[in-house]
Amino acid sequence: MSTWLGRAYERLRSNPWPVLLFLLGAVIRMIYTGAVPAGLNQDEASIGYDAYAILHYGIDRNGIHLPIHLIAWGSGQNALYAYLSMPFIWLFGLNPGSVRAISLIMGLIGMAVFYLLAKRIFTTRSASIAAMFLIAINPWHIMMSRWALESNLLPTLILLAVYFLIRSFESPRWTYGFTIMLGLSLYAYGTAYFFVPVFALCSVFLLLYKRAVPLKAIIWNVLLFVLLAIPILLFIVINRMQQLDSVVTPLFSIPKLTMPRVEEVSSVFSGQLLQTAFGNLRALIKLLVSGSDGLPWNSISPYGYAYPLGLPLAIIGLTALLPSFQKRDPKGLGQSVVLLWLLASVLMACITSVNINRINVIFFPLMLLMTSGLMWLGKKWKPSVPLSAAVMAVFGLLFVTVYFRDFPNEIGPAFHESIGEAVQYASQESDGKIYITDRVNMPYIYVLFYQKINPHTFLDTVQYANPGAAFQQVTSFDRYVFGQPVPSGEEAASYIIWNGDPLPADIDGYKLKRFANYTVLIAASGTESSAAIPAAGEAPLLEGISNGGFEEGAAGWSFTPGTGIGNNKPYQGGSLAYLDPGSDRSITQTFSVPVTAEYTLSAWISSGGEGGKLGIRVNGAVIAEQELPRNEEYQEVTLHMLALQQNQATEIYITGGNGWINLDEVRLER
C-alpha cells in the first residue's frame, strides 16, 4: 500500500496538471448542484419520483412492478437513470440534488476516463493533459453533468465501453467490460437501440481485421451481449406489435406503453428513408457549425457545445487521424476506434430528430479529435498550443461566469422554478382542494415529487383528460386539480397561479404568498383577511412586495443579464441584489396591493456611479421615479404618496447606470 501511494505521489509531483485540471472541472460541476439549473425540469421530476416510488413501494406511478422501462407520461422514459438514483434518494431524500447526483457522478467519472483514454490513444503526456483541459472546461459536459436527464448517462457509458475496448487490445478479458457497458447502454436512452448494434458490429470487424482478440473471446462476448439485451429487445417487440401485451415476472416487468417513443427512430424506415436521413444530416451539420440546438438547457450562446474554436480543431484532428486505419499498432487501433465511434454517431444522427440530447454520443469523439487537432498544430507551430489553450480558457471563464450568474434567471421559468415551493406551501397551509395552473408542463408530476405522494393514492384517484395518449394529461388526483385556476371565494380552496396572471378582483378574501414564478392564493374562509389594517401604534403593514431583503435569493424578482444576488456587502441580513454598470440592466417585481391607498416605497441603495433609477409603474405607465446619485455607502431612497389601486398590475423597477448598484431592504408601506 505504501509503495503504491509512493508511486502515486511521485507521479503527481512530476505531472500535477491532470489532477489540478480534474479538480477544477470537479468544482465547476459540483458547486450549487441542487440549485443551478434553477427549478426542476419535468423529466427530472418524473424520473426522480418514479425512482422514489419503486424504491419505497416497488411500483412506478403507473403501477408497474420493477419496470425495465418506465411508462412515465405514456410514451416512455428509460429506466436506468432511475435505478442508479435510488441510493442517493434513499440517503438524502427526494429532492433536486439527490436526483441530479448520478449526473454529477457520471460527469466526474467521464472526466477521469476521458483522460485515461486519451493517454492510450495519443501516448504523449502533452496530449493527455490537453484532453483533460478540454474536458474540464467543456460547456456541453459541464451542463450535462448538472441536471438529471436520462439521456445524460449514454455518453459516459459509451466512453467506458470504448476505454475497455482499447484495453482489450492488450488483454482479451477487457472485452467483457466493453460488452457489459454496451449492454447497459441499451437501458439508458432510446438512441442506443441504433448506435449500440452499429458500433458493436464495427468494433467486432475491427478486432477481427486487426487480429487483436481471439475469435473465441468474441463469441463469448456476443453471447453475453445477447443475454443483456434480451429484456430490452422484448420491450421493443412488445411495443411494436399491437397484439402483444406486457410481461410481468417476480424480478422485473416489461410494460406496454400508450404510444412507444421508439417510433421516433423506426419511422425513418417507412418510405422516405433517404429524404429523412439527409434532412437529419443537414440538421446535424447546422448544429455542429452553430454550436446550438436552440434549447436553453443544452447550450448557451455563443459558447455552444465546445466554444467557437472546437469545431475547427476537430476538423484538423479528423484529417490527422484518418491514416490510422492502416496501422496495426495499439496507437493506430485506438485511433481507429475513435473514427468508428464518430462514424456510428453520425449514422445515428441520420435516423433521429437532431438535438444535443439525442446526438450526445458524438461529443466525446469530437473532443478527442480536438485534442488530435491541437497536437497537430503544435507540431507545425509550437506557439499555437498555448495560444489556443489561452483562447479556450478565456471562453471557459466567460462561460462559467454566465452559467452561474445569468443562466439561473434565464432557465428558471423554463424549469418552473418555485412551483415546488408553491405546492408545498399550499399543501401545508390548507386542507381543501388545491387548484394548480396549467402554465406548468405536466404540473401533476411536481405534486407527486415535492409531496412524495403514495403511488397507490395516485393510481386510485387519478383522472386523465386524454387516457392512452403519448403524453397523458392529468386533470386531477386526490385533492389536486390541474388547469387554469378560477379563484372562487365561495370555496375554501387554494390556488396556485403564474405570476403573470391577474389576481382576482376580491383579493381581500385571500391569503397571498408570492414565489419566484408562482403565487399561492388561499381563500380566507374562516380566517382573518390578509389585508387587515394594523391598529394604531403597530408597525406599518408591508404590502405587495415579497422578498424585499433578498434573503430568499431571486424569489419574486426578475433579473436581466448583468444583475443578480450577492452577499458581499448587504445593508441588512446576508444577501443583496446588484446591477452591473449599464442602462440595459434592470431588476423588477410585479405585484398588486390588496387595498386602495397611498403607499411609500423605500429601498437602501449604494452606487458606484450616477444614472441608475428606482421607480414604480402601473399598467406599464411610470407614476414615480427617482434618479440614483453616486454614493458608495448605503442611503435610503424613498418615493412618497404613491396612489395605488386595489388589484392593479404594479411594477417596481431598478435600472442600471454608469456604475455598479447594490440594492437591499425594499419596502412598500401604507
Q: What pLDDT is recorded for position 567?
A: 76
247/381 same-domain check: yes
Q: What pLDDT is recorded for position 4?
A: 66
Q: Which amino acid, one-letter code, is at 368?
A: L
Residue 331 confidence class, pLDDT cut points 50, 70, 90: low
pLDDT tens figures, 645-666? 877 778 899 999 888 899 988 9
Of residues 609, 575, 589, the one with CA closest to residue 544? 589
Q: What pLDDT is recorded for position 265?
A: 46
454/349 same-domain check: no
In a domain, 550, yes or no: no
395/452 same-domain check: no
Tell me the percentage of the chain whose pLDDT exceeds 90: 57
Asked whether the predicted pLDDT for residue 330 surpasses 80, the reply is no
In a domain, 297, yes or no: no
391/517 same-domain check: no
| CA distance linking residue 289 with residue 75, whole number of Å | 32
Edge-first strand order for the sheet with 612-618 is 558-559, 586-591, 650-655, 612-618, 621-628
**Strand (E) or helix (H) holding 631:** strand 631-644
pLDDT tens figures, 34-61? 889 999 999 999 999 999 999 999 999 9
The burial of 309, by beta-carbon neighbours within 10 Å (0-12 exposed, 13-18 middle, 19 or more buried), is given as: middle
Asked whether the predicted pLDDT for residue 271 surpasses 90, the reply is no
Q: Is 597 helix (H, G, I), strand (E, B) or coil?
A: strand
393/246 same-domain check: yes
Contact residues for 206 (Cβ-Cβ < 8 A; gap 6+): 212, 333, 336, 337, 340
In a domain, 17, yes or no: no
**Boundaries of domain holding 511:** 416-523
Q: What pLDDT is recorded for position 105?
A: 97
Domain with residue 638: its CATH number is 2.60.120.260
Contact residues for 21 (Cβ-Cβ < 8 A; gap 6+): 129, 132, 133, 136
In a domain, 142, yes or no: yes
Strands 494-498 and 480-483: unpaired
605/643 same-domain check: yes
627/500 same-domain check: no
In a domain, 7, yes or no: no
Residue 133 confidence class, pLDDT cut points 50, 70, 90: very high
pLDDT tens figures, 491-506? 789 999 998 888 887 7
* Average pLDDT across the chain, whole number: 88
In a domain, 52, yes or no: yes
| CA distance linking residue 499 with residue 590, whole number of Å | 8
In a domain, 633, yes or no: yes
Strands 434-437 and 494-498: parallel
pLDDT tens figures, 537-548? 333 334 467 888
In a domain, 579, yes or no: yes
584/597 same-domain check: yes
Of 411, 440, 462, the position where a domain reaches its end is: 411
637/607 same-domain check: yes
pLDDT tens figures, 436-482? 998 899 999 999 999 999 999 999 999 998 898 888 999 999 999 99
364/502 same-domain check: no
Q: What pLDDT is recorded for position 72?
A: 94
Of 411, 439, 471, the position where a domain reaches its end is: 411
352/420 same-domain check: no
Weakest-pLDDT range from 84-98, 158-172, 307-321, 606-620: 606-620
Weakest-pLDDT range from 53-57, 163-167, 407-411, 595-599: 595-599
Tell me the percentage of the chain whose pLDDT exceeds 70: 92
With both helix axes pointing from N to C terminus, report the angle between 215-240 and 192-210 in degrees, rounded to the nearest 10.
160
| CA distance linking residue 153 with residue 357, whole number of Å | 11
Count of domains for the chain: 3
449/318 same-domain check: no
Of 411, 433, 450, the position where a domain reaches its end is: 411
